[in-house]
Structure 1
Amino acid sequence: MTDSDIDDFKITFFYKFKSLEWDYLQSLSDNKKKLLSRDDQLENYNPCHILEYGEIFATLCGLKPCTLLAHYVMHEYATGLVEKALKPLFDEYELEKEGFELWKLKSPVTELYRGGWIFANKKHEQYSLVKQVFVTTSLSSNKVDIGRALGYPLPYGKYTIEYIDDTESKERNTCCVPILEYNVGAASEENFTIILFHLDEYAKLWKKIGRNLTIDLSEHPLMEKWFTDIKNGRKK
Protein backbone atom coordinates (compact mmCIF):
# COMPACT_ATOMS: atom_id res chain seq x y z
CA MET A 1 0.00 0.00 0.00
CA THR A 2 1.19 3.51 -0.72
CA ASP A 3 0.13 6.98 0.32
CA SER A 4 1.12 8.83 -2.80
CA ASP A 5 0.42 12.07 -4.62
CA ILE A 6 2.45 10.84 -7.60
CA ASP A 7 0.64 10.46 -10.91
CA ASP A 8 -0.45 6.85 -11.33
CA PHE A 9 1.25 6.54 -14.70
CA LYS A 10 4.62 7.38 -13.12
CA ILE A 11 4.27 4.59 -10.58
CA THR A 12 3.27 2.15 -13.32
CA PHE A 13 6.20 3.39 -15.41
CA PHE A 14 8.54 2.79 -12.46
CA TYR A 15 7.65 -0.88 -12.15
CA LYS A 16 7.50 -1.53 -15.89
CA PHE A 17 10.87 0.08 -16.52
CA LYS A 18 12.44 -1.72 -13.57
CA SER A 19 11.27 -5.04 -14.99
CA LEU A 20 12.35 -4.29 -18.57
CA GLU A 21 15.75 -3.05 -17.42
CA TRP A 22 16.33 -6.25 -15.46
CA ASP A 23 15.31 -8.38 -18.44
CA TYR A 24 17.70 -6.44 -20.67
CA LEU A 25 20.66 -6.88 -18.34
CA GLN A 26 19.93 -10.58 -17.93
CA SER A 27 19.68 -11.08 -21.70
CA LEU A 28 23.17 -9.77 -22.49
CA SER A 29 25.84 -12.08 -23.82
CA ASP A 30 28.56 -13.27 -21.46
CA ASN A 31 31.10 -11.04 -23.20
CA LYS A 32 28.95 -7.97 -22.60
CA LYS A 33 28.29 -8.96 -19.01
CA LYS A 34 32.06 -9.14 -18.47
CA LEU A 35 32.41 -5.60 -19.79
CA LEU A 36 29.80 -4.41 -17.30
CA SER A 37 31.50 -6.07 -14.33
CA ARG A 38 33.97 -4.01 -12.33
CA ASP A 39 36.90 -6.36 -12.86
CA ASP A 40 36.02 -7.88 -16.25
CA GLN A 41 35.16 -11.20 -14.59
CA LEU A 42 31.89 -12.87 -15.58
CA GLU A 43 31.42 -14.47 -12.16
CA ASN A 44 31.44 -10.99 -10.61
CA TYR A 45 28.79 -9.56 -12.91
CA ASN A 46 26.00 -8.16 -10.75
CA PRO A 47 23.25 -6.23 -12.54
CA CYS A 48 22.00 -5.00 -9.15
CA HIS A 49 24.95 -2.61 -9.07
CA ILE A 50 24.27 -0.88 -12.40
CA LEU A 51 20.50 -0.39 -12.42
CA GLU A 52 19.22 2.96 -13.67
CA TYR A 53 15.54 2.72 -12.69
CA GLY A 54 16.05 4.91 -9.61
CA GLU A 55 17.55 7.84 -11.49
CA ILE A 56 14.96 7.52 -14.25
CA PHE A 57 12.16 7.64 -11.68
CA ALA A 58 13.73 10.60 -9.87
CA THR A 59 13.90 12.46 -13.19
CA LEU A 60 10.32 11.51 -13.99
CA CYS A 61 9.20 12.91 -10.62
CA GLY A 62 11.21 16.13 -10.87
CA LEU A 63 13.96 15.45 -8.32
CA LYS A 64 16.65 15.21 -11.01
CA PRO A 65 16.99 17.46 -14.05
CA CYS A 66 18.09 14.51 -16.16
CA THR A 67 19.54 11.03 -16.20
CA LEU A 68 22.74 10.29 -18.10
CA LEU A 69 22.88 6.77 -19.50
CA ALA A 70 26.42 5.75 -20.43
CA HIS A 71 29.10 3.20 -19.62
CA TYR A 72 32.81 3.88 -19.84
CA VAL A 73 33.66 0.40 -21.20
CA MET A 74 30.56 -1.07 -22.86
CA HIS A 75 29.57 1.88 -25.00
CA GLU A 76 26.57 0.16 -26.62
CA TYR A 77 25.01 -0.56 -23.23
CA ALA A 78 23.03 2.69 -23.12
CA THR A 79 21.57 2.31 -26.60
CA GLY A 80 20.48 -1.22 -25.77
CA LEU A 81 18.80 -0.05 -22.57
CA VAL A 82 17.02 2.75 -24.41
CA GLU A 83 15.83 0.46 -27.19
CA LYS A 84 14.73 -2.41 -24.93
CA ALA A 85 13.30 -0.51 -21.98
CA LEU A 86 13.19 3.29 -21.98
CA LYS A 87 12.09 4.24 -25.50
CA PRO A 88 9.12 1.81 -25.65
CA LEU A 89 7.77 3.23 -22.38
CA PHE A 90 8.64 6.79 -23.38
CA ASP A 91 6.40 6.31 -26.41
CA GLU A 92 3.71 4.30 -24.62
CA TYR A 93 3.20 6.99 -21.99
CA GLU A 94 3.71 9.84 -24.47
CA LEU A 95 6.32 11.42 -22.24
CA GLU A 96 7.23 14.04 -24.81
CA LYS A 97 3.77 15.55 -24.30
CA GLU A 98 4.39 15.44 -20.54
CA GLY A 99 7.51 17.59 -20.87
CA PHE A 100 10.30 15.02 -21.18
CA GLU A 101 13.05 14.51 -23.74
CA LEU A 102 15.16 11.56 -24.76
CA TRP A 103 18.15 12.03 -27.00
CA LYS A 104 21.47 10.47 -27.94
CA LEU A 105 24.57 12.49 -27.16
CA LYS A 106 26.54 13.93 -30.05
CA SER A 107 30.10 15.11 -30.54
CA PRO A 108 31.97 16.59 -28.76
CA VAL A 109 30.17 15.39 -25.59
CA THR A 110 30.63 11.80 -26.77
CA GLU A 111 34.34 12.23 -26.13
CA LEU A 112 33.39 12.03 -22.45
CA TYR A 113 30.34 9.76 -22.67
CA ARG A 114 30.65 7.61 -25.76
CA GLY A 115 27.35 6.04 -26.77
CA GLY A 116 25.52 8.03 -24.10
CA TRP A 117 21.89 9.10 -23.89
CA ILE A 118 20.03 11.77 -21.89
CA PHE A 119 16.55 11.48 -20.39
CA ALA A 120 15.60 15.03 -19.38
CA ASN A 121 12.77 16.75 -17.52
CA LYS A 122 12.04 20.03 -19.32
CA LYS A 123 10.05 21.32 -16.33
CA HIS A 124 13.03 21.15 -13.98
CA GLU A 125 14.61 24.48 -13.02
CA GLN A 126 18.04 23.21 -14.12
CA TYR A 127 16.87 22.13 -17.57
CA SER A 128 18.70 25.02 -19.25
CA LEU A 129 21.91 23.81 -17.62
CA VAL A 130 21.25 20.30 -18.93
CA LYS A 131 21.10 21.71 -22.46
CA GLN A 132 24.18 23.85 -21.84
CA VAL A 133 26.22 20.89 -20.60
CA PHE A 134 25.02 18.04 -22.81
CA VAL A 135 24.05 19.85 -26.03
CA THR A 136 27.18 21.84 -26.66
CA THR A 137 29.68 22.60 -29.39
CA SER A 138 32.64 22.56 -27.03
CA LEU A 139 33.85 20.65 -23.98
CA SER A 140 33.95 23.73 -21.78
CA SER A 141 31.73 22.31 -19.02
CA ASN A 142 33.53 21.27 -15.85
CA LYS A 143 32.69 18.50 -13.40
CA VAL A 144 30.82 20.92 -11.15
CA ASP A 145 28.46 21.96 -13.97
CA ILE A 146 27.97 18.34 -14.99
CA GLY A 147 27.14 17.41 -11.41
CA ARG A 148 24.62 20.24 -11.11
CA ALA A 149 23.01 19.23 -14.40
CA LEU A 150 22.66 15.71 -13.02
CA GLY A 151 21.07 17.00 -9.82
CA TYR A 152 23.89 16.23 -7.41
CA PRO A 153 23.81 18.31 -4.21
CA LEU A 154 27.48 19.34 -3.94
CA PRO A 155 30.53 19.99 -6.14
CA TYR A 156 32.58 17.07 -7.34
CA GLY A 157 35.17 15.58 -4.96
CA LYS A 158 36.90 12.44 -3.74
CA TYR A 159 34.18 10.98 -1.49
CA THR A 160 31.55 8.64 -2.94
CA ILE A 161 27.96 8.68 -1.68
CA GLU A 162 25.37 6.04 -2.59
CA TYR A 163 21.63 5.88 -1.97
CA ILE A 164 20.44 2.30 -1.60
CA ASP A 165 17.01 0.93 -2.45
CA ASP A 166 16.72 -1.23 0.64
CA THR A 167 13.44 -2.73 -0.54
CA GLU A 168 14.94 -3.87 -3.83
CA SER A 169 18.04 -5.17 -2.06
CA LYS A 170 15.90 -7.46 0.09
CA GLU A 171 13.71 -8.54 -2.82
CA ARG A 172 16.80 -9.42 -4.88
CA ASN A 173 18.49 -10.99 -1.85
CA THR A 174 21.65 -9.03 -2.51
CA CYS A 175 23.93 -6.76 -0.51
CA CYS A 176 22.74 -3.55 -2.05
CA VAL A 177 20.97 -1.94 -5.00
CA PRO A 178 22.36 1.58 -5.46
CA ILE A 179 19.93 3.94 -7.18
CA LEU A 180 22.12 7.05 -7.07
CA GLU A 181 25.87 7.54 -6.78
CA TYR A 182 27.77 10.81 -6.70
CA ASN A 183 31.07 12.24 -5.47
CA VAL A 184 31.45 15.15 -3.06
CA GLY A 185 34.34 17.24 -1.86
CA ALA A 186 35.05 19.10 1.36
CA ALA A 187 34.07 17.26 4.54
CA SER A 188 32.22 19.76 6.70
CA GLU A 189 29.13 19.69 8.87
CA GLU A 190 27.46 22.13 6.48
CA ASN A 191 28.04 19.77 3.55
CA PHE A 192 26.90 16.76 5.55
CA THR A 193 23.63 18.57 6.26
CA ILE A 194 23.17 19.37 2.56
CA ILE A 195 23.66 15.70 1.69
CA LEU A 196 21.12 14.58 4.29
CA PHE A 197 18.58 17.09 3.00
CA HIS A 198 19.11 15.74 -0.52
CA LEU A 199 18.78 12.17 0.75
CA ASP A 200 15.57 13.08 2.56
CA GLU A 201 13.97 14.25 -0.69
CA TYR A 202 14.72 10.90 -2.30
CA ALA A 203 13.68 8.92 0.78
CA LYS A 204 10.32 10.72 0.85
CA LEU A 205 9.75 9.90 -2.82
CA TRP A 206 10.58 6.24 -2.22
CA LYS A 207 8.28 6.15 0.81
CA LYS A 208 5.41 7.44 -1.34
CA ILE A 209 5.59 4.25 -3.40
CA GLY A 210 5.98 2.01 -0.37
CA ARG A 211 9.74 1.53 -0.56
CA ASN A 212 12.64 2.22 1.80
CA LEU A 213 15.78 4.16 0.91
CA THR A 214 19.03 4.21 2.89
CA ILE A 215 22.46 5.79 2.46
CA ASP A 216 25.85 4.10 2.14
CA LEU A 217 28.61 6.25 3.63
CA SER A 218 31.31 3.58 3.71
CA GLU A 219 33.42 5.55 1.20
CA HIS A 220 33.07 8.73 3.27
CA PRO A 221 34.27 7.75 6.78
CA LEU A 222 34.15 11.28 8.21
CA MET A 223 30.49 11.71 7.33
CA GLU A 224 29.75 8.14 8.37
CA LYS A 225 31.05 8.90 11.87
CA TRP A 226 29.14 12.19 12.01
CA PHE A 227 25.94 10.47 10.86
CA THR A 228 26.38 7.64 13.38
CA ASP A 229 26.91 10.15 16.19
CA ILE A 230 23.67 11.91 15.26
CA LYS A 231 21.70 8.66 15.21
CA ASN A 232 23.16 7.69 18.58
CA GLY A 233 22.33 11.08 20.08
CA ARG A 234 25.92 12.21 20.49
CA LYS A 235 25.37 15.36 18.41
CA LYS A 236 22.71 18.03 18.69
Structure 2
Amino acid sequence: MANGDTVDFKIAAFQKFKSLEWDYFQSLSDDKKKLLSPDGRLKNYNPFHLLEYGEILATLFGIKPCTLLAHYVMHDYATGLVEKALKPIFDEFQLEKEGFELWKLKPPLTEDYKGGWIFANKKHERYSLVKQTFTTNSSSINMIDIGGALGYPLPYGEYTIQYIDETESKERNACCVPMVEYTVGEGNFGTIIRHFDQYSTLWKKLGRNLTIDFSEHPSLEKWFMDIKNGQI
Protein backbone atom coordinates (compact mmCIF):
# COMPACT_ATOMS: atom_id res chain seq x y z
CA MET A 1 0.00 0.00 0.00
CA ALA A 2 1.44 3.38 -1.04
CA ASN A 3 2.14 5.92 1.69
CA GLY A 4 -0.70 8.21 0.59
CA ASP A 5 -3.12 5.29 0.56
CA THR A 6 -1.92 4.27 4.04
CA VAL A 7 -2.67 7.72 5.41
CA ASP A 8 -6.07 7.75 3.71
CA PHE A 9 -7.14 4.39 5.10
CA LYS A 10 -5.99 5.33 8.60
CA ILE A 11 -7.98 8.56 8.48
CA ALA A 12 -11.02 6.70 7.17
CA ALA A 13 -10.71 4.07 9.92
CA PHE A 14 -10.35 6.80 12.54
CA GLN A 15 -13.39 8.71 11.30
CA LYS A 16 -15.49 5.55 11.28
CA PHE A 17 -14.38 4.66 14.81
CA LYS A 18 -15.07 8.20 16.04
CA SER A 19 -18.64 8.03 14.76
CA LEU A 20 -19.30 4.53 16.09
CA GLU A 21 -17.81 5.40 19.47
CA TRP A 22 -20.19 8.34 19.87
CA ASP A 23 -23.12 6.13 18.91
CA TYR A 24 -22.01 3.59 21.52
CA PHE A 25 -21.96 6.12 24.35
CA GLN A 26 -25.34 7.49 23.32
CA SER A 27 -26.86 3.99 23.24
CA LEU A 28 -25.91 3.03 26.80
CA SER A 29 -28.64 2.43 29.34
CA ASP A 30 -29.09 4.90 32.18
CA ASP A 31 -27.68 2.35 34.63
CA LYS A 32 -24.48 2.04 32.61
CA LYS A 33 -24.22 5.79 32.20
CA LYS A 34 -24.36 6.08 35.99
CA LEU A 35 -21.45 3.65 36.27
CA LEU A 36 -19.43 5.85 33.91
CA SER A 37 -20.31 9.00 35.83
CA PRO A 38 -17.64 10.19 38.30
CA ASP A 39 -20.15 10.30 41.15
CA GLY A 40 -22.60 7.64 39.97
CA ARG A 41 -25.27 10.22 39.13
CA LEU A 42 -26.94 10.23 35.73
CA LYS A 43 -27.05 14.01 35.46
CA ASN A 44 -23.25 14.14 35.69
CA TYR A 45 -22.65 11.57 32.96
CA ASN A 46 -20.19 13.20 30.56
CA PRO A 47 -19.17 11.16 27.50
CA PHE A 48 -16.84 13.96 26.40
CA HIS A 49 -14.42 12.88 29.13
CA LEU A 50 -14.57 9.23 28.08
CA LEU A 51 -13.86 9.37 24.36
CA GLU A 52 -11.00 7.17 23.17
CA TYR A 53 -10.79 8.27 19.54
CA GLY A 54 -7.68 10.36 20.18
CA GLU A 55 -5.79 7.38 21.58
CA ILE A 56 -6.96 5.18 18.70
CA LEU A 57 -5.86 7.81 16.18
CA ALA A 58 -2.41 8.08 17.78
CA THR A 59 -2.04 4.29 17.75
CA LEU A 60 -3.10 4.06 14.10
CA PHE A 61 -0.45 6.62 13.12
CA GLY A 62 2.31 5.09 15.23
CA ILE A 63 2.69 7.91 17.75
CA LYS A 64 1.39 5.65 20.49
CA PRO A 65 2.42 1.97 20.84
CA CYS A 66 -1.00 0.83 21.99
CA THR A 67 -4.31 1.88 23.50
CA LEU A 68 -5.56 0.35 26.74
CA LEU A 69 -9.34 0.23 27.00
CA ALA A 70 -10.66 -0.33 30.53
CA HIS A 71 -12.85 1.28 33.18
CA TYR A 72 -12.41 0.87 36.91
CA VAL A 73 -16.16 0.70 37.64
CA MET A 74 -18.01 -0.35 34.49
CA HIS A 75 -16.00 -3.44 33.65
CA ASP A 76 -17.92 -4.35 30.49
CA TYR A 77 -17.40 -0.86 29.06
CA ALA A 78 -14.32 -1.86 27.05
CA THR A 79 -15.89 -4.99 25.59
CA GLY A 80 -18.93 -2.98 24.53
CA LEU A 81 -16.74 -0.36 22.89
CA VAL A 82 -14.70 -3.02 21.11
CA GLU A 83 -17.80 -4.83 19.85
CA LYS A 84 -19.64 -1.70 18.75
CA ALA A 85 -16.82 0.50 17.45
CA LEU A 86 -13.31 -0.94 17.36
CA LYS A 87 -13.86 -4.48 16.06
CA PRO A 88 -16.03 -3.24 13.16
CA ILE A 89 -13.24 -0.99 11.85
CA PHE A 90 -10.62 -3.62 12.67
CA ASP A 91 -12.42 -6.00 10.33
CA GLU A 92 -13.61 -3.53 7.70
CA PHE A 93 -10.18 -1.97 7.19
CA GLN A 94 -8.33 -5.29 7.66
CA LEU A 95 -6.13 -3.76 10.34
CA GLU A 96 -4.53 -7.09 11.22
CA LYS A 97 -2.97 -7.18 7.74
CA GLU A 98 -1.75 -3.63 8.29
CA GLY A 99 0.18 -4.55 11.42
CA PHE A 100 -2.33 -4.02 14.23
CA GLU A 101 -3.50 -6.34 16.99
CA LEU A 102 -6.56 -6.43 19.21
CA TRP A 103 -6.78 -8.67 22.25
CA LYS A 104 -8.54 -9.00 25.58
CA LEU A 105 -6.43 -8.88 28.73
CA LYS A 106 -6.04 -12.02 30.80
CA PRO A 107 -5.20 -12.61 34.48
CA PRO A 108 -3.33 -11.37 36.41
CA LEU A 109 -3.67 -8.04 34.53
CA THR A 110 -7.45 -8.21 34.85
CA GLU A 111 -7.09 -7.73 38.59
CA ASP A 112 -6.25 -4.09 37.85
CA TYR A 113 -7.86 -3.74 34.42
CA LYS A 114 -10.92 -5.94 34.62
CA GLY A 115 -12.57 -6.37 31.23
CA GLY A 116 -9.67 -4.56 29.57
CA TRP A 117 -8.58 -4.71 25.93
CA ILE A 118 -5.41 -3.73 24.05
CA PHE A 119 -5.25 -2.24 20.56
CA ALA A 120 -1.59 -2.38 19.51
CA ASN A 121 0.58 -1.17 16.63
CA LYS A 122 3.06 -3.97 15.82
CA LYS A 123 5.24 -1.57 13.81
CA HIS A 124 5.92 0.68 16.79
CA GLU A 125 9.41 0.46 18.29
CA ARG A 126 7.92 -0.25 21.71
CA TYR A 127 5.75 -3.13 20.52
CA SER A 128 7.94 -5.67 22.32
CA LEU A 129 7.38 -3.73 25.55
CA VAL A 130 3.63 -3.76 24.87
CA LYS A 131 3.65 -7.56 24.55
CA GLN A 132 5.91 -8.00 27.55
CA THR A 133 3.79 -5.70 29.71
CA PHE A 134 0.26 -6.66 28.71
CA THR A 135 0.70 -10.42 28.36
CA THR A 136 2.68 -10.93 31.56
CA ASN A 137 1.97 -13.80 33.92
CA SER A 138 3.54 -11.94 36.81
CA SER A 139 1.27 -10.82 39.63
CA SER A 140 3.51 -7.77 40.11
CA ILE A 141 2.59 -5.04 37.64
CA ASN A 142 5.32 -2.55 36.77
CA MET A 143 3.63 0.83 36.38
CA ILE A 144 6.71 2.31 34.69
CA ASP A 145 6.53 -0.38 32.01
CA ILE A 146 2.81 0.28 31.58
CA GLY A 147 3.47 4.00 31.12
CA GLY A 148 6.20 3.24 28.60
CA ALA A 149 4.03 0.75 26.72
CA LEU A 150 1.27 3.35 26.52
CA GLY A 151 3.72 5.92 25.18
CA TYR A 152 3.49 8.46 27.99
CA PRO A 153 6.35 10.78 29.01
CA LEU A 154 7.94 9.44 32.18
CA PRO A 155 8.44 9.39 35.07
CA TYR A 156 5.05 9.65 36.70
CA GLY A 157 4.39 12.43 39.18
CA GLU A 158 1.81 14.50 40.97
CA TYR A 159 0.83 16.85 38.13
CA THR A 160 -1.86 16.05 35.56
CA ILE A 161 -1.38 16.99 31.91
CA GLN A 162 -4.20 16.90 29.36
CA TYR A 163 -4.36 17.39 25.61
CA ILE A 164 -7.66 18.95 24.57
CA ASP A 165 -9.36 18.62 21.18
CA GLU A 166 -10.41 22.25 20.81
CA THR A 167 -12.14 21.58 17.51
CA GLU A 168 -14.34 18.88 19.01
CA SER A 169 -15.01 21.04 22.06
CA LYS A 170 -16.41 23.80 19.85
CA GLU A 171 -18.34 21.44 17.58
CA ARG A 172 -19.96 19.72 20.56
CA ASN A 173 -20.38 22.96 22.51
CA ALA A 174 -18.56 21.29 25.40
CA CYS A 175 -16.24 22.85 27.96
CA CYS A 176 -13.46 20.49 26.92
CA VAL A 177 -12.88 17.16 25.19
CA PRO A 178 -9.69 15.60 26.62
CA MET A 179 -7.79 13.27 24.29
CA VAL A 180 -4.80 12.33 26.42
CA GLU A 181 -4.22 12.47 30.16
CA TYR A 182 -1.16 11.48 32.17
CA THR A 183 0.75 12.57 35.26
CA VAL A 184 4.32 13.83 35.49
CA GLY A 185 6.66 15.29 38.07
CA GLU A 186 9.09 18.19 37.87
CA GLY A 187 11.56 18.46 35.02
CA ASN A 188 11.67 16.80 31.60
CA PHE A 189 9.65 19.72 30.25
CA GLY A 190 11.17 19.40 26.80
CA THR A 191 10.10 15.75 26.60
CA ILE A 192 6.53 16.67 27.48
CA ILE A 193 6.35 19.43 24.87
CA ARG A 194 7.87 17.19 22.18
CA HIS A 195 5.30 14.52 23.04
CA PHE A 196 2.51 17.07 22.72
CA ASP A 197 3.93 18.41 19.44
CA GLN A 198 3.67 14.94 17.89
CA TYR A 199 -0.02 14.80 18.74
CA SER A 200 -0.64 18.40 17.72
CA THR A 201 1.00 17.85 14.32
CA LEU A 202 -1.19 14.80 13.72
CA TRP A 203 -4.31 16.76 14.65
CA LYS A 204 -3.35 19.48 12.16
CA LYS A 205 -3.22 16.85 9.40
CA LEU A 206 -6.90 16.31 10.05
CA GLY A 207 -7.63 20.04 10.09
CA ARG A 208 -8.18 19.99 13.84
CA ASN A 209 -6.69 21.94 16.72
CA LEU A 210 -5.18 20.31 19.80
CA THR A 211 -4.10 22.28 22.87
CA ILE A 212 -2.23 21.35 26.03
CA ASP A 213 -3.65 22.00 29.48
CA PHE A 214 -0.89 22.24 32.07
CA SER A 215 -2.82 24.44 34.50
CA GLU A 216 -2.24 21.85 37.24
CA HIS A 217 1.53 22.02 36.67
CA PRO A 218 2.54 25.63 37.56
CA SER A 219 6.27 25.29 36.91
CA LEU A 220 5.72 23.75 33.46
CA GLU A 221 3.21 26.47 32.63
CA LYS A 222 5.70 29.17 33.66
CA TRP A 223 8.52 27.51 31.68
CA PHE A 224 6.32 27.30 28.59
CA MET A 225 5.20 30.94 28.85
CA ASP A 226 8.79 32.11 29.39
CA ILE A 227 9.80 30.39 26.15
CA LYS A 228 6.79 31.82 24.33
CA ASN A 229 7.69 35.32 25.55
CA GLY A 230 11.36 34.90 24.61
CA GLN A 231 12.63 34.90 28.18
CA ILE A 232 14.43 31.55 27.82
Q: TM-score, normalised by structure 1?
A: 0.94
Q: Distance in 2 between matches of 1:205 and 1:157?
A: 26
Residues 104-163 of structure 1: per-residue CA shift (max 9 Å, x gap): 000000011000000000000100000111001113331111000000011222111111
RMSD: 1.3
2:37 is matched with which residue? 37
- Bigger mean CA deviation after superposition, 220-229 or 149-158: 220-229
1:114 is matched with which residue? 114
1:202 is matched with which residue? 199
Q: 1:10 offset after TM fit, Å?
A: 0.8
Q: 1:5 offset after TM fit, Å?
A: 8.6
Residues 28-72 of structure 1: per-residue CA shift (max 9 Å, x gap): 011111111111111111101110000001000000000000000
Aligned positions of 1:1-236 closer than 5 A: 7-185=7-185, 187-188=186-187, 191-233=188-230, 235-236=231-232
Q: Distance in 1 between matches of 2:139 and 2:133?
A: 8
Check conservation: 1:100, 1:122, Cα contact below 8 A. Answer: yes
Q: 1:229 offset after TM fit, Å?
A: 2.7
Q: Distance in 1 between matches of 2:190 and 2:108?
A: 36
Residues 164-189 of structure 1: per-residue CA shift (max 9 Å, x gap): 1111111111111111111112x12x
Q: Runs (4+) of structure 1 moved beyond 6 Å?
A: none
Residues 59-106 of structure 1: per-residue CA shift (max 9 Å, x gap): 000000000000000000000000000001100000000000000000
Residue type of the partner of 1:119? F
Check conservation: 1:5, 1:208, Cα contact below 8 A. Answer: no
- Bigger mean CA deviation after superposition, 68-77 or 31-40: 31-40
Q: 1:226 offset after TM fit, Å?
A: 2.0
Residue type of the partner of 2:7? D
Residue type of the partner of 2:102? L
Question: Secondary structure in 1 aligned to 2:224?
Answer: helix
Question: Secondary structure in 1 aligned to 2:163?
Answer: strand
Question: Secondary structure in 2 aligned to 1:114?
Answer: coil
Q: Distance in 2 between matches of 1:99 and 1:46?
A: 33
Q: Distance in 2 between matches of 1:220 and 1:139?
A: 33
Change over 3 Å in CA distance of 1:6–1:95 after alignment to 2: closer
Question: Secondary structure in 2 aligned to 1:7?
Answer: helix
Check conservation: 2:109, 2:141, Cα contact below 8 A. Answer: no
Residue type of the partner of 1:83? E
Q: What are the ranges of 5 or more consecutive residues in structure 1 without an aligned counterpart? A: none
Check conservation: 2:59, 2:120, Cα contact below 8 A. Answer: yes
Q: 1:231 offset after TM fit, Å?
A: 2.4
Residue type of the partner of 1:123? K
